[in-house]
Every structure is written in structure tokens, then in C-alpha cells.
Amino acid sequence: MAEKSIDHAFTAKSRTSAASDPTFAGALSFMRRRFTKDLAGVDAVIWGIPFDAATSNRPGARFGPQAIRRASAIFDNDPQYPFQRDLFADMAVIDYGDCLLDYGNHQKTPAAIEAQANVILDSGAFLLTLGGDHYVTWPLLKAHAAKHGPMALVQFDAHQDTWLDDEGRIDHGSFVARAVRAGIVDPARSIQVGIRTHAPEDFGIRLVYGHEVEEMTAAEIARMILDHVGETPTYLTFDIDCLDPAFAPGTGTPVAGGPSSAKILSVLRRLGALDIRGADVVEVAPAYDHADITAIAGATVAMYMLGLRAERRATALNF
């Protein structure tokens, strides 16, 4: 036990060091990454936004970041499947904690998220955000577009989130419409996967409906995404309700007829060629979960996003 440590989130001496906490104990940062606000020399940042005041059905996604962090403890220090590597051997990743929000003044929420995201992005780090409901993607997109310009949106979701609003609403179902109208998202290069509802507008975004996902292989879906997006800088957003409720019951607006976690993870695994500039996992609502099924799925999706980043970085550095 001499070489072992615990509470790696606080005791880590390096941002690239492996943890040795038992999966059932220790401080619950995301994948045991060090909790810190120090962005110097950081390659990627995990950040939580505990906000769910924009939900149109069941609330509870404010507890999503906690649940995802807790579920991520299941990832031990062996090379992460299916990447066959220690994701943090050559990639400095920190857990930046959560966004500070005023629960009594929701109209200030979007500006607060955008301002705090800007601080992280100005450091040059890649930002992976844990929601929170899907409204949080709107200020995140604004912050990323300010740095990277207009982006393609790759969205895994049961809903299009293109409902029109008056621009002042705090609503998780309209952020895509806002982003297209603002010129932040390029609809011609954007794609939504797993859609199982209808919205009044699609804004020219490529839709892949739930029944199409069921009929296609993971390789076919991934190839469609890669061909459609091409080399466009991309924001990747994953609403956990993309998955069938059998695989993600803990969410605010579950929709039957979705894909399995295994299939969608297989799709994600094949997206390494995408130029992903930012990403999020949203709508995990643990109050409706069972045995952490949804939280584990959300944590695994987030780990895959980091895995893609680690592979891309390793290729660039010839590791």
C-alpha cells in the first residue's frame, strides 16, 4: 500500500498522474482529476453547470454534474477501453468544479455561464462541460464561437431543440434555433442524431431519426456524420435522452425508441477525425435514475470525448 494514495482529486502532485483511489471511496472529481482553478499548462478542463431551470418536463438535471462525477469513479487506472491508453499520461486534465450561478436570478444565468466559460477558453484549454439541462449549451456555444468562429453542431438527442422563442426565454428547447439565427452554428454542416420528435423548423440541419439509427450500423452513422461535417470546427453536444429510456431512464424528457448506449458509444468511437473544439454531456437527472444507469452512460460518453481528444493530441505530438 505504500505506493497507493487516496483523494487524488486533492492530493495529486501532477495533472497527468494516475489515481489509485478505490472505486468506492475518495474525493469524487471527474475520473479523479485534480480539483483546481489553476489553468496554467492545462490541456482539457472538466466543468459542471448545475442548472435545470429551463426544463419543460421533469427537473433535476442540476444534480447531473454530481452524478456523472460519482459514476466516473468506476473507471480505474487501467488503460481506458476502447482507447487502449491512459488518457492522462500525456494530456493534462483538471476538474474545474462547477459554474457559480444565482439560483434566484435566472435571467443572469446565460451571461454568467458565458463569462466563466470565456475564462477557461482564454487559457487555450479544451472545455468539456457536464450539465445541467440543454439550455446551458446556448451560452457555451456563444463562448466557443467567440474563440473559434461559426461551428458545425453534432448533436445526439431525441429532440431538435429548434423551437422558436422571444430570445429572452430560459428554455432548453430553443438553443439550436438561436444559434443558427445568430450565425454561431452552420446548419449546412450540422447534424442531429437520434431525433424522435418533431419541431416546427429544422433550419436545414441534417436529421437522423431514431428509426434510421435503428436500421443503420454504427459505422454507417459515423461515416454519415464525418462526411456531412467534413473539416469544419465542431461543437459536440450529447443530450443523454438520445439513448432509449432503457439505457438512460434518469432524464427530464425521456422518449422511447432510441438507440442503446453500446451502439452510440460505437458511433462516438469512430468520430476521431472530427475537429471537436468543445463538448458537453447534458440532461442527466439522477432522481429518475436506477442503479446509476444514466449516470454511468453519461460518464462513459464524457470519457469517450476525452479519449478522442487524447488520441488526436497523441497523433499531433507523434506519441
Q: What is the CATH number of the domain that holds 246?
A: 3.40.800.10
Residue 134 assigned to a binding site = yes
CB of 101 within 8 A of CB of 114? Answer: no
Residue 228 assigned to a binding site = no
Q: SS3 letters for 269-288?
A: HCCCCCCEEEEEEECCCHHH
CB of 140 within 8 A of CB of 238? Answer: no
Q: ∠ CA(34), CA(35), CA(40), 5° rounding? A: 80
The verdict on residue 18 lying in a domain is yes
The candidate with the shortest Cα–Cα distance to 98, out of 139, 54, 64, 58, is 64
The verdict on residue 137 lying in a domain is yes
The verdict on residue 2 lying in a domain is no
Residue 202 assigned to a binding site = no
The candidate with the shortest Cα–Cα distance to 268, out of 234, 294, 295, 313, is 234
C-alpha cell at 66: 454530481
Q: How many domains does the chain have?
A: 1
Residue 21 assigned to a binding site = no
DSSP 8-state class, residue 265: H
The candidate with the shortest Cα–Cα distance to 91, out of 315, 311, 310, 312, is 310
Residue carrying the nine cell digits 494530456: 91
Determine the residue type at 117.
A
**Residue 20: what pLDDT?**
81
The verdict on residue 260 lying in a domain is yes
Could you give the residue ranges of the DSSP H alpha helices within the chain?
8-11, 64-72, 109-122, 137-148, 175-181, 210-215, 218-229, 261-269, 293-316
From the first residue on, what is the mean pLDDT of each consecutive set of 10 residues in the chain (319 residues)? 75 81 88 96 97 91 97 87 92 96 91 97 98 96 97 98 83 91 97 96 96 98 98 98 98 97 98 98 97 98 97 79
Residue 144 assigned to a binding site = no
The verdict on residue 26 lying in a domain is yes
C-alpha cell at 169: 426565454
String of DSSP letters for 224-247: HHHHHHTTS-EEEEEEGGGS-TTT
pTM of the model: 0.95
Residue range(s) defining the domain that contains residue 167? 8-316
Cα 263–chain centre separation? 17
Determine the residue type at 306.
L
Query: What whole-number distance in Å separates Cα of residue 122 and Cα of residue 32?
Result: 24
The verdict on residue 163 lying in a domain is yes
Q: How far is CA 87 from CA 77, 84, 165, in A?
A: 10, 9, 41
Between β-strands 93-98 and 34-35, what pairing exists: parallel, antiparallel or unpaired? parallel
Query: What whole-number distance in Å separates Cα of residue 250 and Cα of residue 289?
Result: 4
Residue 78 assigned to a binding site = no
C-alpha cell at 274: 472530427
The verdict on residue 76 lying in a domain is yes
CB of 239 within 8 A of CB of 255? Answer: no
**Residue 26: what pLDDT?**
85
